[in-house]
Amino acid sequence: MSEFLEPFERMLEDVATPAAVRAIEQGGSIETMWGAFAESGFLDALVPDDRGGAGLSLADAHPLWMALGRHAVPLPVGETMIARALLKAAPEGPIALAVAEGAAAVVPCGLVTEQLLVEADGGLHLVETKGEATGVPASLAARFDLGALPAPVAPAAEGGLRGLAAILRAALIAGAAERLTQMTAAYANERVQFGKPIGRQQALQQQMAVMAEEMVAARIASQLGCAGSFPPSLVAAATAKSVASKAAARVAATAHAVHGAIGISEEHDLQLFTRRLHEWRLADGSETYWNRLLGAARLDDAGRSVDYVRSAFA
């Protein structure tokens, strides 16, 4: 696994610097950053061997997705990996993911994607379209009209695309949460108030300990999401996204609480990650969306709770 992660991480260090992330958020070209991903071959990580891909499992892809979150990558790299695995003839360029449930959807990275892969009526539809800006400053999310879709390019496993998007999102959340936890602990050791680093204050230590717990829970839940088949089961996707989404808001809150006013400023990198945590929490189903589905499935089962979760991940 680390044989893939190490070069990937190196590439991210190079191309996804905070300055590069900000430039794309301000409307700059994605060409250099996207070009690096396209050239690296990682976009075909999940494409089966016999179609010329790397044939990685979801479990293998998980650390790569977490790394994308750790670097606040402003492009739909994980989404494109999923789309290229699903489509026999995928177009070049970035592909974002959506499920047509209502007439429209807000999609992360919608402003920088070239294609949208939409699951609707049992089919996958590929739409070459630009989304409409949401008006949220620096956000790359876009709103897409899903009313009229072209003919499907492939059949869909029902719920498959949202489950896949959910486990990706959970892994991105886990990565960003990890980065925020590190940044927050480091800041607490540097920032001096009352004559000592604020990290020595028990009240802050206790908050940061809980932050670390939430971060690890999000990581393990997202690993569970990626532990099984492609696409994931309902229980796997729901566990991953429910726990990660819940952690997202809490981790962001503590990161800001510890950083104080500087963390609210644009120039500090904290916001690159906390803004994404909030956006990713809402994308592809919030915690309550997945809890409802998971709870309904659980209530159909007469067995014990421990057996239920054990057999779901056996």
- Give the span between the Cα atoms of 133 and 110, in whole angstroms: 8
* 253 interacts with other proteins by CB under 8 A: no
* 313 interacts with other proteins by CB under 8 A: yes
Stretch that binds other proteins, among 85-93, 111-119, 141-149, 293-301 (CB under 8 A): 293-301
**Which residue lies nearer to other proteins by CB, 11 or 174?**
174
* 174 interacts with other proteins by CB under 8 A: no
Stretch that binds other proteins, among 26-34, 72-80, 127-135, 210-218 (CB under 8 A): 210-218
Residue the block writes with tokens 């309550």: 288
Smallest distance from the beta carbon of 54 to other proteins, in angstroms?
21
Main-chain dihedrals φ then ψ at residue 120, nearest 5 degrees: -155, 135
* 10 interacts with other proteins by CB under 8 A: no
Task: Map the footprint of other proteins across residues 270-289, applying CB under 8 A.
Answer: 287-288
**Which residue lies nearer to other proteins by CB, 129 or 291?**
291
* 243 interacts with other proteins by CB under 8 A: yes
Residues 73-112, mask of contacts with other proteins (x by CB under 8 A): ----------------------------------------
